[in-house]
């Protein structure tokens, strides 16, 4: 009976001793506190390392931004320099073109203002094919056919491969025709047909070949090109004029 009563007393004594131990001396609590302190220290280190990494990234981005700004400034300077060079080049070309135009006008003014044109002389000496063609054509429009004839003759000698050669040949023939030099006109119109068969002046040249033969009283020779104009170039002004001349010939009985 006494042994049984001792066990509860012993448990009570141990429990009492445990209860009486303060928390600051409890080995378990001490260990937990140490672990907590170490964990907080580790967390602080981790946070500091993250901040260092972010700081490094920000610094790198700032350096990159500075580099890009430098590139932008350089490109802006280059663009400004290029724009200035382009303006200078344009101004130089414009000045040269105006000087050339003035020179060409001065050279051709004597003919265009009523002066004479010597055989073998272009109306615009030193000028392009287009400049000389236009000057010669102006003479035709002013009904100055003799200098126009000389101008177109020299044009064809000076610019035989020009895109305007077919037109120049036609207007040379026309300058003969209006001055009633029908034989030379006929020969010149025939050159248009033979040498420039794809020219837009072929229909008009055929019509004038008919007219020249009519003026030379070559009736059958006149009818052939007039009929050809109607057949090859219907619904054109040349075809209509050819029909009128054929009708006139029929009326005249020739």
pLDDT in tens, 166-222: 999 999 999 999 999 999 999 999 999 999 999 999 999 999 999 999 999 999 999
CA distance 164 to 145: 19
Give the pLDDT score at 79. Answer: 64
Domain boundaries, the chain: 42-152, 164-254
Which CATH number is 164-254's, of 3.40.50.40, 2.40.110.10, 1.25.40.10, 1.20.1560.10? 1.25.40.10
**Distance in angstroms (rounded) separating the CA atoms of residues 18 and 138:** 131
State yes or no: pLDDT of 158 exceeds 80. yes
Q: C-alpha 183: how far from its chain's center?
A: 49
3-state SS class at 179: coil
Reported as a pLDDT band with limits 50, 70 and 90, residue 13 is: very low
Confidence bin at 7 (pLDDT 50/70/90): very low
> What does the pLDDT read at residue 5?
47
Can you tell me the mean pLDDT for 19-31?
64
Residue 2: what pLDDT?
Answer: 45
> What is the mean pLDDT of the segment spanning 143-152?
95
Q: Which residue has the higher pLDDT, 108 or 114?
A: 114
Q: What is the phi-psi region of residue 172: left when phi exceeds 0, alpha when psi lies from -120 to 50, beta otherwise? A: alpha
Structure tokens at 83: 């724009």
Check pLDDT > 70 for residue 56: no
pLDDT band for 119, please (50, 70, 90 cuts): confident
Q: Any idea what DSSP says for residue 116? A: -
């Amino acid at each position: 009976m006494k042994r049984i009563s001792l066990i509860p007393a012993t448990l009570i004594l141990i429990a009492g001793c445990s209860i009486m131990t303060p928390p600051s001396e409890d080995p378990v609590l001490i260990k937990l506190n140490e672990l907590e302190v170490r964990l907080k220290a580790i967390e602080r280190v981790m946070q500091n390392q993250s901040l260092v990494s972010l700081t490094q990234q920000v610094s790198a981005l700032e350096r990159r931004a500075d580099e890009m700004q430098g590139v932008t400034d350089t490109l802006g300077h280059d663009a400004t320099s290029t724009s200035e060079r382009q303006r200078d080049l344009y101004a130089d070309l414009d000045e040269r073109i105006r000087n050339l135009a003035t020179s060409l006008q001065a050279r051709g003014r004597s003919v265009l203002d009523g002066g004479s044109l010597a055989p073998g002389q272009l109306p615009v000496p030193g000028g392009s094919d287009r400049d000389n063609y236009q000057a010669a054509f102006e003479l035709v429009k002013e009904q100055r056919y003799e200098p126009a004839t000389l101008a177109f003759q020299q044009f064809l000698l000076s610019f035989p491969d020009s895109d305007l050669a077919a037109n120049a040949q036609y207007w040379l023939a026309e300058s003969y025709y209006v001055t009633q030099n029908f034989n030379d006109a006929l020969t010149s119109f025939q050159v248009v047909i033979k040498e420039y068969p794809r020219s837009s002046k072929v229909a008009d040249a055929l019509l004038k070949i008919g007219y020249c033969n009519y003026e030379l009283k070559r009736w059958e020779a006149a009818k052939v090109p007039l009929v050809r104009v109607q057949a090859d170039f219907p619904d054109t002004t040349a075809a209509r004029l050819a029909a009128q001349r054929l009708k006139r010939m029929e009326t005249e009985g020739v």
